[in-house]
Amino acid sequence: MSKLKLSVMISGRGSNLQALIDACADPAFPAEIILVLSNRPGAQGLDRAAKAGIATQVIDHKDFADRATFDREMTAAMEAVGTELVCLAGFMRLLSDEFVDHWRDKMINIHPSLLPSFKGLDVQERVLALGARFAGCTVHYVRKEMDTGPIIVQAVVPVLSDDTPDALAARVLEREHEIYPLAVRLIAEGRVTIDEKDRAIIDGAAPSNTSIVNPSGIAG
Distance of alpha carbon 153 from alpha carbon 151, whole angstroms: 6
Distance of alpha carbon 200 from alpha carbon 53, whole angstroms: 33
Q: Are 112 and 123 in contact (CB under 8 A)?
A: yes
Catalytic, out of 102, 111, 140, 177: 111
Active site residue 111: yes
> How many CB atoms are located within 10 Å of the residue 36 CB?
28
Listed as own residue / partner, the contacts of 18-21 with beta carbons closer than 8 Å and 24 or more positions apart are 18/45, 18/48, 18/177, 19/176, 19/177, 19/178, 19/180, 19/181, 20/87, 20/89, 20/180, 20/181, 20/184, 21/48, 21/49, 21/52, 21/54
Distance of alpha carbon 151 from alpha carbon 179, whole angstroms: 12
Backbone angles phi, psi at 165, to 5 degrees: -55, -40
Catalytic positions, written as ranges: 111
